[in-house]
Amino acid sequence: MVKLFVFETETESIEVNAMDFRDACLTLEEQDPSIKVKDIVSVMEYSCPTVSDTIH
């Protein structure tokens, strides 16, 4: 299941959709190689809701 990870730095929040924390870190590194581990203040992980309704 895909999850939303929000990486917080002193100046911004970066949202990453990924399967797990490791995948989120690798995706963040690909998206913005200038962000270093020491720049990250916190990481929040959110489960994406499961959709059970069908829209017609």
- pLDDT, one tens digit per residue, over 7-52 is 999 999 999 999 999 999 999 999 999 999 899 999 999 997 666 5
Amino acid symbol at 46: Y
Q: Is 27 left (phi over 0), alpha (psi -120 to 50) or beta?
A: alpha
Q: What is the DSSP string of the chain?
A: --EEEEEEESS-EEEEEESSHHHHHHHHHHH-TT--GGGEEEEEEEEPPPP-----
pLDDT at residue number 29: 93
pTM over 0.85? The answer is: no
pLDDT at residue number 1: 83
How many Cβ atoms are within 10 Å of 27's Cβ, its own excluded?
16
Angle at 28 between CA 27 and CA 33, to 5 degrees: 115
Listed by start position, the domains of the chain span 3-47
